[in-house]
Amino acid sequence: MRLLFIGDIVGRSGRVVLSEHLPKLRQAWRLDCVIVNGENAAGGFGITEPILADLLDAGADCVTLGNHAFDQREALSFIAHQPRLIRPLNYPCGTPGAGATLLETANGGRVLVVNLLGRIFMDALDDPFAAGAQELAACPLGAGCDAAVIDFHAEASSEKQAFAYFVDGRASLVVGTHTHVPTADHRILPQGTALITDVGMSGDYNSVIGMEIEEPIRRFTRKTPGLRMEPAGGEATLCGVAVETDVRGLALRIAPVRIGGVLSPARPDFWD
């Protein structure tokens, strides 16, 4: 199975680069499933229903969220009737929406997508390790699903890497999101789970993690309240990770994807 995960869409520039490239990538790479993190898609903070529709229309099969899941208050209502939009599974019981979904691909494959939120340097939520293990046990790789992708949205690299080893052999891909800076450690773990500690953002990298430069600098230097941070609006880089799985749902190949903007380009050579 051919899987593509696209990192955190930040503002309009991130949405533009997604809509420009994803339809062509789906066709050229014959992708079975595309997952997009959209928690920063609406002005850098949260997601709206029209923006969700745009991401799905561009070719996303599922959109994951994170700690900004409900920054746009309308998400509290529309997430309940949007099965392809998921928020972190380990939010407290009673939070609107679902934390996992089972997608059916065009060729009849089944892809389990799970969204989890880390706890180190983040709001203390329920245990993501226990929540993830429970979901994988309920829909095991090779029996309940043909591939399992986990978006682990967290600040600490150690927590993301520890979780990947914790589920090694039980998931196809653990992809770290949230820090908006792509890491160079994409690899396949000993039991067959692909990992990248952070996939990076899809946004303008002439910025401070996607935001216009002036206000973050002012906050660091002055330590006083200021203006609302705004997403940078220059040419964006589409950042993602491509994974191909075997008949067991374990990873055969993994490669970074970087298209456009100021970052060095990268594409999977095994799909050319």
pLDDT for the residue 132:
98
pLDDT at 175: 98
Among candidate residues 68, 153, 178, 186, the one labeled active-site is 68
Residue type, position 31, single letter = L
pLDDT of residue 123: 87
Please say if 68 is a catalytic residue: yes
As a three-state string, the secondary structure of 95-162 is CCCCCEEEEECCCCCEEEEEEEECCCCCCCCCCHHHHHHHHHHHCCECCCECEEEEEEECCCHHHHHH
User: What is the predicted pLDDT for the residue at 117?
Assistant: 98
Which mean pLDDT values do the consecutive 10-residue runs of the chain (272 residues) have?
98 97 97 97 96 97 96 93 96 95 94 98 93 98 96 98 98 98 98 98 97 94 88 97 97 98 96 82
Write down the domain spans for the chain: 2-271
Report the alpha-carbon distance of residue 42 to residue 104 in Å, rounded.
27
Residue 70 structure tokens: 């409900």
Contact at 8 Å (CB) between 226 and 218?
Answer: yes
Domain 2-271, CATH homologous superfamily name and number: Metallo-dependent phosphatases (3.60.21.10)
Q: Phi then psi for 63, rounded to 5 degrees?
A: -120, 125
